[in-house]
Structure 1
Amino acid sequence: MVDYKEFDFPAELCCSPSPLIAIAGLDTVNNTIHRTIWDAFHSPVGRDSRAVLNFFHLTSEYKFPNLSEKRVMPYIPKGILKRNWLEKHIRYDPAVVVIFYDCDWDDESWNEKISECSSRVQSIRLSLEGRKSRIVVVLIQKLMPAVDDTITTERAASLCEACTLNPKALFILPVVDNIHGYAIRLENAFYDLAQNYYQQQIRSVKSKLENLSKTSHQYLIVRYSFKIAFYNELRQDHHNAHKHYHQCYMSLLEIRTFDTNIYEVKVVAAYIIYKISRLLFSMKRARDALTQFNSHVNVFKSMIGPPELMFEHYSWLSKQFSMFASLFDETTAESSTATQALNPGFFFKEAADYAKKRKISAYDICQDANVYPSSDPLSQWNNIEFYGQRPWRLIKTLNNLDFDTIEADGIQALKFYENTKVDHSKAIISFLGNAMKQFKHYNCPRMRNLLAVQMADEYYNAKDYSKALTLWSHMLWDYRDEGWEAIAHELVNKCLKCAYLTASVQNYVELNLEALKYYKNVDLQKALNNIGSIIQRKIPEPEKTLNEYEKNISMEEWQKCDSMQSKSVLEIDMSVTNSTVDTKVILKDVSCDGIEIEIFIKANFPILVQFSKLIACVTCIDNTYDVDVCTDSNRLIYGESKTHKYTCKFVPSPNDVGKEITVNSIKLQLGSEPDFPIVLKFYSSIKKTKSFEREMNNFSLSKTSDDEFERIKQITSATLKPRSSRLGMEIKHQNPALLLEWYKVSVCLTNLEDRPVSDVCLNFSLNRNNNEKIEHSTEVCEDPDKNILSLPVDFKLDSMLVGDQKTQSFYVRFSSLDTRYFQLMISYSIEDNNRTKIACVKDVEIIIDVNIVFDVSVTYMSSKFEPVSKVYVGEPLIVMPNIKCLSPWPILIENTSFQLAKHVNISAGGYQSVLNGVLLESDECASEVLCVTPSEFNENILGCFTINWKRANVGNECKNGYSSIELPKIIVEKSSFLVDMKLPAHGWLHTPMSVVYFLHNNSESLLTLDVSMEANEAFMMAGHKDLNVTVLPESTYKLHFNLYPLVVGVSTLPKMHIGCTSEPNDFKHILNDVLVRSLQTQIYIMPKHLPIQTNEVLK
C-alpha cells in the first residue's frame, strides 16, 4: 500500500492566490545589482499599499507545463476538477514573463545588444508554446534617461521592432538609490498586464461554457465555472470570484449522484464551499458565510454513499466543521464578529463529535478488516487525475478488471487503512483542544470544562491514563468547588480507575478518601479496605469496572511501584479533596507562659474509623512546633457526624515574643509505623466558602445537620504577647530640642521584680509613622566625641539585681524642624520557678519637638555704611549679620566665624568677633560686622556665617550646638576704575588736616581724567582745584589736599568731580556711581584744644 492520504484540503486550495510573474535575465548569485533588483520586488517596504504579486525565477533550464490537448467541444470528461490545474496556475504557468537585460541607450555595441536581447525574447516566446502569457522587457541602465532624446526614441523603437514587442511592454529601470520606488512602479505595470491576461483567460473559458448543455455536460459546467471563479480570484476580484464559485456550487448540486461518484462530488463541494466561505469572511460577510455553510452541511449530511464507508462520510463532515472553524477563527482574530453564543469553538466541537461518530462507525465496520487486498487497490492514489476519484478505478481502466471485484477490494483497502492506520483519538483530542481554546478565549468556562472531561475520556480510550487522570482531576476541582456533587461523584470514579491503572499511590489514596463521601455499603467498605491495604504496603483490589486487560496492566504497574516501599509516611493534602473530615482551630491564650489551642474535628463516616495520632503544626517566623494534641487512638474513633473537641498547651520560645504565631495545619494519622501510615494534612488557613453552599446542600447526596461546627469561628494566628514587665523606667529630657544641638536623653531603670533580671537591653528607634526624610535628618550617639550610631540603637545593660538602678544616657541631634516620635523599648529575661527564661518587654513613646535657635538676616553695606545691592571687584564691602534669638532657653554665644569663598578677602585689620561670650535671652538681638573685599569677578556667593552656641542654664545636660547660614548672594561686577580716600576720624577747628584721594586704574590702558574740587564755606583748601591726571594701567594715583576747618560740628567735605572725555557714556555712569559709593561726604570737627591739653599732648 502506497502512502495513502485520506480526504483533506490541499495546500494549493488553501493559499491566497495572486498573479504569477516570471522573472528572467537576473543573475542573483554573481551580480549584486541583479540581487538588489530581486530583493526590491520582495521587500516589505510599503507592502500594504503595493500590488500583491507572486514572483518566481525563470531559469534557462525551466520547462513550462504541457499544454492541454485540444478537444472538440463539447466532450465527455472523466472527472470534475483536475488535481494539477490549481497548482499549475499558482506556481508554474505565469501571467507575465519579465525579461531583464543590461543595456544603455549610448552603449557602443548597440547592434549586438539588440540582437542578443531579441534572441532571448524569441527563445522565451518559443518555450511558452502558444501560451497567451504577456512578455515584458526591462532594460537595466546606469543613468536616468533624458526626457527629450531623439537617439533614445529611435533606439527604443528599433529594439521593439527587433523583439516584435509592443512599445508599452518596454520598461526602463535606472540603477539609482531609490530603486524601491521604481520597483513599485514596475509591479503596478506587471499587475495591470496580469489583469489583462486573466481577463482574456476568463473570456476564453466563458466562450466554451456558453456552448455546454446543462443536461449533458454537468461536469464541464462545474469545471469551467470553477476556472472562471479562480481566474477572478487571481485578479483579486473577490465579488466576481464569489459569484462564480456560488454558480459552480449550485451547478454541482444538480449532478446526479451514485455510489460511484458521490465521493467525488462531496470532495469538490467541500473545496468550493471552502473558497466561498473564505471569500465571504474576507469581504466581512461572516453571517452570509455561516448561512452558506449550514446550508451546505444540511444538503450533504444525508448523502452517505456506500454503507460500508459510513466512517468516511463522518470523516468528511468532521473535516467540514474543522475547516469552517479555522476560517472563522482567522476572521475573528482580525475583527470581533464572534460571541459567546456563536464562536469557532462550537464548530470545533461539532468536528470532534463527528470524529467520535467516525470512530464508533469504524469500530463497528472495520474491526475485522485486518488483511490488505492483494490487488493493492490504493497503489494508483498518487496518479489519479481528478480530485475525489477512487484510485482503484484507474487500475480497473488500465488492467480491464472486473468492476465488482476491484470495487470490493477498494472498499476493503479503505476499511483496512481506517482500522490500522488512523489514530481516531488523536484527531478527536486535537479538535477538542481547539474548541477548549476558543471557549476559554470567549469566557465560556462550563463549555470548556465539559470538553475537558470529554478530552480526558478520549485519553482514557487511547490508554493514556496519566493525561486522563490529570484532566479529570482538574475538572473534579472545578465541579467540586461549584457544588456539582453528582458530577464530582462520577469524576471521582473515573479518576480512581486511572489512579489504579497508573499505580499512583498519592492520587489513589486522595480519591478513596474523597469517595468515602459518596460511597455506601459495599463500595464504602471496599474503599476503606483499599486504604488499609496501602497502609499495610499491599496492592489494593482492582476497581470493579476494569476489564481483564486493564487489570493485568495495572497489576504490572503496582508491582513495579516502589513509592510504598521507599517512603515511611504518605502525606495527603486535604485542601485538594472533598473529604468527610473537617477541622477548625481556635488560639485561646497566646503568651510566654504558654499557648493554649482548641481543635475541633467533625467527621462523618457510616462506620467507625480509628486514627492513631492528632498533631497541630504551629509556625512562627523562625521556629516550627509539632504539638502532639492526642496520641490515644481510643479518643480518635470517628463515626456518624459529630464534633469532637481537643485541647493542648505548649510553651513557645522566648525569641518569638512580638511575632505572629500561626496554627498552619492539623495532621490526622491513619496507621502507625513500621507500616505505611497515611497522614491527612488539613491547612487551617484554606477554608472554601461559597455563597450558594446552603442552597446547594438541598441537592447534596450527603446532607449535614451539625450546625454546632458551622458556628465555630476560627482563630488561627495571633501575636505572642510578652510577660508583663515590672521594671521601673524614668525618662529625663528637656523638651523642646534645639536645631543642630546634641540633645541629651537619660533613661533611669529600677529593678522592681522579685528576682534578678538578665540580658537587659534598651532599644531606641524612630516610630514607624515617621517618614524617610525624618530618619535621615536624625543622628544618635552615646558620646558626641565618639562615632555616630545608626537607628535603631541597642544599649546593652547586662543584668540587674533586685532593687538595682541603672541610668543610660545618649544624645540626639536633629537637622530639621519636624517633631520626632521615638519608641523606647526595654527587654530583659527573667527565670520562672522551673528555671525557664521568660522574655519581658516594656516600651514607651517619646515625643521631642524641635525649635530653631536664631533668626539670622544679613545686610550688605558700603564703606559709608549705606545698603548696597552690588559691589565692584576690589571695593570694600561691609557684611553685617543680624541675629535674633528664638530659643525658649537663654543661649550663650561661644564664638562666631565666617567661612569666605576663595575670591573674597578680609580687609586690612582682620576679623575679631564682637559676640564672643554674649548671652541672649529669647527675642533679644545682636549684630556682627566684617569688612571684606571681592578680589575677582566670580560667583555671587560670598561664603557662610556660623554661630557656635550652647544652652546657658543646663550645665552639661546638652552639648554645644551650631547654626550656620549661607551669606546671601550679591552682584559682583568688575570696574576699570575705583576711588577711595584717607582722612582722619575727625578734625580740629583751625587745625590743618591732610586728605589723600586714591585713583585706581584697574584696566589695561591709560586712563586720562579731569579732576576738580568744589570748595565750600566749611573748609579752606590747599591743593589743585582743577587737574588733568593720567593714570597708568593697573596702577594708583594719589591726590593730596590740605583742609583747614572753619566750622565746628558735622561739616561737608569739598566735593570731588572726575570726568573722562575719552571713554564712552557707560564709563561716565560708572565714575559717578563709584564717587557716590566710595567717597565720604562729611566729617565731624572738634572745637579747638585748650593750651594746657595741647602742652600735655606735645609732651
Structure 2
Amino acid sequence: MCDYRSEGWWTLLTSILTTALKCAYLMAQLKDYITYSLELLGRASTLKDDQKSRIEKNLINVLMNESPDPEPDCDALAVKTAQKLWADRISLAGSNVFTIGVQDFVPFVQCKAKFHAPSFHVDVPVQLDVYLRADCPHPVRFSRLCVGFNNQEYNQLCVIQEASRASEVLENTTQGRMCLVPGKTRKFLFKFVAKTEDVGKKIEITSVDLVLGHETGRCVVLSWQGGGGDAASSQEALQAARSFRRRPRLPDSEVHWDSVVVQASTMIISRVPNVSVQLRHDPPALTNEMYCLAVTVRSQEKSPIRDVKLTAGLKPGQDANLTQKTQVTLRGTELCDESCPALLTDVPVGDLQPGEQLEKTLYVRCGTVGSRMFLVYVSYLINTTIEDKEIVCKCHKDETVTIETVFPFDVAVKFVSTKFEHLERVYADIPFLLMTDLLSASPWALTIASSELQLAPSMTSVDQPESQLDRVVLQTGESASECFCLRCPAAGTGDGGVATGHYVVSWKRASAAPDIPVVSTVVTLPHVIVESIPLHVNADLPPFGRVRESLPVRYHLQNTTDLVQDVEISVEPSDAFMFSGLKQIRLRILPGTAQEMLYNFYPLMAGCQQLPSLHISLLRFPGFTHQLLRRFIPTSIFVKPQGRLVDDASIAAA
C-alpha cells in the first residue's frame, strides 16, 4: 500500500483499508484495528462523513476498553465469533499502550514542529512550536503531547499533560487546551533553557508523540519522526509550493497549515559578548622583525567577568608554509625561534570589573613575505540569570586582521677593481673590491645597528673589515654602501666560481623600543670566477704631483708562475710629463720573485694628466695584453700648479 500512498491512489487505498478493517475486527486484532481506523479517518480517506463518524465512535470505544460495533456487510456468524473474541481481549490483562509510527501511513492527525530560530544564544530560552491539525469528523481530546530531542535531558521539559477521564476522549465541545477541532490548526509552545555544555552543538527534534486515550482504558501513541510529517506530507508540501491560489485571510490567532514549514533543528551558540577588543599595530610587518601587536580588552558588562583568556596568532586553516614561518610570543626582548608556536592558546589575563580594561602585547615574527590573517580571540566567564535560573556563560569575542609582510631592504652586490671598474672575474692574489648597496624598501625608518662580512675560506681580507654602517638611520628609498678590499689566494677549479661568503646586516625599526632585539639578515654573496695571471704588476706613486717637481713612481713586477719569465718593457712618453728611467728594457724574472722598476716623472702641466704608458710583453704568454695591464696600474694623476715664490721684500712689507 506504500505505492498507493506515494502516488495518491486514495480510492484504491480506501477500499483496501476498509476490507482490512473488517478483517481486523473479525480477528479482534487490536493494533491493526486501531491503525486502519486512524487512516480511514484521515484526509486521504474517500469515505463519507457518516462512515467516518461510525469508525471514529468505534475507535473511541476501543480506547475506552469496550468492544466496537460490528463492521457492515459482515457475516452474522462471523460477527458473533468476533464479539466473543473482543470480549476475551477486553477481559485479558496485558499491555494497553500501542505505539504507532505514522511515517508510513496517513493518520487523521497531522503534526509539524518548528523552532522559532535556526540558532539560540545560551542565555535565551529555546522556543519551539508544535502544530496539530485533526481531520476527523468530530473533535477529539488527547491526554499527552511530548517532544523528544537528541539530548534526552530536554525531553522532560517539553511535555503537555492533562488528567482526563476515559470518557472524555470524544470531546463534545470545542473548548479546552487538549482538544483538537477538525479543520483547525492548534499551536503549542514549548520553552526550555539550554545547557551551557551544549554551546556549539545542534539540538534536533527526534520525535513528537501524541497520546490518545487514558491509562484506565487504552492508550494510542502517535509517534512522528523528526519534526513531523507522514506518508503524504512531502507530496502535499510540493503541491502547496507550486500553487498560486491565494490563501483566505484568517484571524491573528490562527495560521494556515500549508504556511508552516518544519524546522526540526537549531544551534546553541554562546552568549553575545559585551567586551570590546581593539588591536593597535603599525603595518606592514618587516621580514623576521619582532612585530608588535597590542591587544586592548575592555569590559562593558554590568557584572564582573572572570577567567579571561586570550588566544592569538595565525588564524588556522591557512597555508602550511605560513604556519612554519610564523611565530608568536609574549616576550619581546628575545627573538623567536622555531620552538615558538604560530598560535598562542588560552593565555590567562585575569579578571575584569565593569568598565575596566587591560592590555596585552604580542610579538609576531614572520619569516616570509606575503599576507597573513591573524586571529585574536578573547573568552571569559560570567554569571547570568535566565528564567529564574542562574547559569555560568562562557562568552567569546574574536577579531581578525590581515597583515602584509614586506622585505625591509634590498641588497645589491658587485665586484670592482681597485680603480672601481666593473669586474666579470677576478684574478688570483690580486686585490679587488666588494661593494654592497643597501636600499631601504621599508615604509618606516630603519636603524642599521651594524654589518658584518663573513668570508668563505677561499677568500681573505686585505685589511681588517669594519662596519661602515653602525647606527645609520635609513628613511624610505635611501641607500647605504660599503666597500671591502679582498683577495682570493687561488684560482677556482669549477665553472660555478668561488664562494665569497655572507653579508650580515643587523637592524630594527627606528621607532622600536630599546629592549626590542635587532634582527640579523644574512645575505649570501654571489660566487665569483677567479683566474690566474702570469705577471702581477702594481705601482707605488704619490696621491698627486706638482708642476716641475719630481714625481717618483715604482713599478713592481711579480712572476706568479713556476716558469722563468722573459719580459719586454717599454714606456710610451706623454706630452704632460718628462721622465727619467729606462725607456725600453728586456729582463728575466725568476719564478715567485719580483722585479722593481723606478721612474722619475716631471709634470709639465697642471690638472688631471695621463701618465706615460707602460707596455709589457711576455714572450711565454702572448695573451697578456696591454688592456689587461691597465686594470692593475694607474693611468692618470692629478697635478697641482707650481706654488708662488715669496721674496724677502714681500715678507718685510707684510
- Matched residues, percent identical? 20
Of 465, 474, 486 in structure 2, the residue corresponding to residue 920 of structure 1 is 474
Match for 1:921: what amino acid? Answer: Q
Aligned to 1:914, what secondary structure does the other structure show? coil
Match of 1:889 in 2: 444
Please say which of residues 599-608 and 639-648 is displaced more in the overlay.
Answer: 599-608
Of 181, 189, 196 in structure 2, the residue corresponding to residue 647 of structure 1 is 189
Match for 1:860: what amino acid? Answer: F
Q: What CA distance in whole angstroms lies between the structure 1 residues aligned with 2:563 and 2:114? A: 102
Distance 1:1039 1:480, change over 3 A: farther
Of 298, 304, 318 in structure 2, the residue corresponding to residue 756 of structure 1 is 304
Aligned to 2:310, what secondary structure does the other structure show? strand
2:537–2:557 contact (8 Å) kept in structure 1: yes
Match for 1:999: what amino acid? Answer: N
Q: Does 1:693 align with 2:239?
A: yes
After TM superposition, list the pairs within 5 Å mapping 1:91-106 onto structure 2: none
Match for 1:626: what amino acid? Answer: N
Q: Which consecutive residues of structure 1, in runs of 5 or more, have no partner in the other structure?
A: 1-471, 536-540, 549-554, 556-563, 698-705, 1091-1099
Question: Following TM superposition, by how much is the alpha carbon of 1:682 offset from its aligned partner in structure 2, in angstroms?
Answer: 2.7
Match of 2:635 in 1: 1081
Higher strand share: 2
1:729–1:748 contact (8 Å) kept in structure 2: yes
Deviations 1:359-402 (A, max 9, x none): xxxxxxxxxxxxxxxxxxxxxxxxxxxxxxxxxxxxxxxxxxxx
After TM superposition, list the pairs within 5 Å mapping 1:423-502 onto structure 2: 476=3, 480-486=5-11
Distance 1:511 1:1061, change over 3 A: farther
Question: Following TM superposition, by how much is the alpha carbon of 1:600 offset from its aligned partner in structure 2, in angstroms?
Answer: 1.8
Distance 1:680 1:927, change over 3 A: same
Q: Does 1:994 align with 2:524?
A: no
Aligned to 1:763, what secondary structure does the other structure show? strand
Match of 1:740 in 2: 288
Q: What CA distance in whole angstroms lies between the structure 2 residues aligned with 1:769 and 1:603? A: 52
Match of 2:408 in 1: 853
Match for 1:632: what amino acid? Answer: Q
Q: Does 1:601 align with 2:132?
A: yes
Please say which of residues 950-959 and 779-788 is displaced more in the overlay.
Answer: 950-959
Q: Which consecutive residues of structure 2, in runs of 5 or more, have no partner in the other structure?
A: 66-70, 79-84, 86-93, 165-176, 244-253, 645-654
Distance 1:646 1:1044, change over 3 A: same
Match of 1:1027 in 2: 586
Q: What CA distance in whole angstroms lies between the structure 2 residues aligned with 1:881 and 1:1023? A: 42
Match of 1:797 in 2: 349
Of 839, 843, 849 in structure 1, the residue corresponding to residue 398 of structure 2 is 843
Aligned to 1:652, what secondary structure does the other structure show? coil
1:744–1:958 contact (8 Å) kept in structure 2: no
Aligned to 1:979, what secondary structure does the other structure show? strand
Aligned to 1:693, what secondary structure does the other structure show? helix
Q: What CA distance in whole angstroms lies between the structure 1 residues aligned with 2:58 and 2:530? A: 102
Match of 1:591 in 2: 121
Distance 1:1028 1:673, change over 3 A: farther
Aligned to 1:923, what secondary structure does the other structure show? coil
Match for 1:596: what amino acid? Answer: Q
Aligned to 1:1045, what secondary structure does the other structure show? strand
Of 857, 865, 880 in structure 1, the residue corresponding to residue 420 of structure 2 is 865
Question: Following TM superposition, by how much is the alpha carbon of 1:831 offset from its aligned partner in structure 2, in angstroms?
Answer: 0.9
Question: Following TM superposition, by how much is the alpha carbon of 1:955 offset from its aligned partner in structure 2, in angstroms?
Answer: 2.5
Q: What CA distance in whole angstroms lies between the structure 1 residues aligned with 2:572 and 2:60? A: 134
After TM superposition, list the pairs within 5 Å mapping 1:563-602 onto structure 2: 572=101, 574-580=102-108, 581-588=110-117, 590-593=120-123, 594-602=125-133
Question: Following TM superposition, by how much is the alpha carbon of 1:780 offset from its aligned partner in structure 2, in angstroms?
Answer: 1.7
Question: Following TM superposition, by how much is the alpha carbon of 1:773 offset from its aligned partner in structure 2, in angstroms?
Answer: 6.1
Q: Does 1:628 align with 2:180?
A: no
Match of 1:26 in 2: none
Deviations 1:686-728 (A, max 9, x none): 873568635999xxxxxxxx97111124445555454343435
Distance 1:678 1:932, change over 3 A: farther
Match of 1:202 in 2: none
1:817–1:852 contact (8 Å) kept in structure 2: yes
Question: Following TM superposition, by how much is the alpha carbon of 1:916 offset from its aligned partner in structure 2, in angstroms?
Answer: 1.0
Aligned to 1:887, what secondary structure does the other structure show? coil
Distance 1:736 1:506, change over 3 A: farther
Deviations 1:746-796 (A, max 9, x none): 223344433321121223255689766655554321124265222364322
Number of equivalenced pairs: 562
1:1023–1:1040 contact (8 Å) kept in structure 2: no
1:1012–1:1026 contact (8 Å) kept in structure 2: yes
Match for 2:437: what amino acid? Answer: N
Distance 1:719 1:859, change over 3 A: farther
Question: Following TM superposition, by how much is the alpha carbon of 1:925 offset from its aligned partner in structure 2, in angstroms?
Answer: 2.2
2:37–2:55 contact (8 Å) kept in structure 1: no
Question: Following TM superposition, by how much is the alpha carbon of 1:583 offset from its aligned partner in structure 2, in angstroms?
Answer: 0.8
Aligned to 2:631, what secondary structure does the other structure show? helix
Aligned to 2:550, what secondary structure does the other structure show? coil
Q: Does 1:981 align with 2:529?
A: no
Deviations 1:335-365 (A, max 9, x none): xxxxxxxxxxxxxxxxxxxxxxxxxxxxxxx
Q: What CA distance in whole angstroms lies between the structure 2 residues aligned with 1:975 and 1:1072? A: 16
Question: Following TM superposition, by how much is the alpha carbon of 1:854 offset from its aligned partner in structure 2, in angstroms?
Answer: 2.2
Of 142, 166, 176 in structure 2, the residue corresponding to residue 610 of structure 1 is 142
Match of 1:955 in 2: 513
Match for 1:682: what amino acid? Answer: Q
Q: What CA distance in whole angstroms lies between the structure 2 residues aligned with 1:569 and 1:971? A: 94
Question: Following TM superposition, by how much is the alpha carbon of 1:825 offset from its aligned partner in structure 2, in angstroms?
Answer: 3.0
1:730–1:749 contact (8 Å) kept in structure 2: yes
After TM superposition, list the pairs within 5 Å mapping 1:340-351 onto structure 2: none
After TM superposition, list the pairs within 5 Å mapping 1:1051-1062 onto structure 2: 1052-1060=610-618
2:428–2:533 contact (8 Å) kept in structure 1: no
Q: What CA distance in whole angstroms lies between the structure 2 residues aligned with 1:1072 and 1:529? A: 126
Deviations 1:120-179 (A, max 9, x none): xxxxxxxxxxxxxxxxxxxxxxxxxxxxxxxxxxxxxxxxxxxxxxxxxxxxxxxxxxxx
After TM superposition, list the pairs within 5 Å mapping 1:191-230 onto structure 2: none
Q: TM-score, normalised by structure 1?
A: 0.44
Q: What CA distance in whole angstroms lies between the structure 2 residues aligned with 1:614 and 1:1073? A: 105
Match for 2:195: what amino acid? Answer: S
1:583–1:602 contact (8 Å) kept in structure 2: no
Q: What CA distance in whole angstroms lies between the structure 1 residues aligned with 2:282 and 2:241? A: 68
Question: Following TM superposition, by how much is the alpha carbon of 1:595 offset from its aligned partner in structure 2, in angstroms?
Answer: 1.8
Match of 1:1014 in 2: 571
Question: Following TM superposition, by how much is the alpha carbon of 1:804 offset from its aligned partner in structure 2, in angstroms?
Answer: 4.3
Q: Which of structures 1 and 2 has the larger relative contact order (alpha carbons within 8 angstroms, sep 6+)? A: 2
2:407–2:441 contact (8 Å) kept in structure 1: yes
Distance 1:695 1:1082, change over 3 A: closer
Aligned to 1:895, what secondary structure does the other structure show? strand
Aligned to 2:158, what secondary structure does the other structure show? strand
Q: What CA distance in whole angstroms lies between the structure 2 residues aligned with 1:505 and 1:985? A: 128
Q: What CA distance in whole angstroms lies between the structure 2 residues aligned with 1:1022 and 1:591? A: 103
Q: What CA distance in whole angstroms lies between the structure 1 residues aligned with 2:276 and 2:369? A: 32
2:452–2:466 contact (8 Å) kept in structure 1: no
Question: Following TM superposition, by how much is the alpha carbon of 1:601 offset from its aligned partner in structure 2, in angstroms?
Answer: 2.5
1:1008–1:1029 contact (8 Å) kept in structure 2: yes
Aligned to 2:343, what secondary structure does the other structure show? coil
1:765–1:823 contact (8 Å) kept in structure 2: yes
Deviations 1:626-661 (A, max 9, x none): 36322314655546333221112222233444x364
Q: What CA distance in whole angstroms lies between the structure 2 residues aligned with 1:883 and 1:767? A: 34
Larger Rg: 1
CA RMSD of aligned residues (A): 5.0
Match for 1:592: what amino acid? Answer: V
Q: What CA distance in whole angstroms lies between the structure 2 residues aligned with 1:1016 and 1:906? A: 38
Match of 2:223 in 1: 680
Match of 2:256 in 1: 708
Q: TM-score, normalised by structure 2?
A: 0.70
Question: Following TM superposition, by how much is the alpha carbon of 1:976 offset from its aligned partner in structure 2, in angstroms?
Answer: 5.9
2:306–2:381 contact (8 Å) kept in structure 1: yes
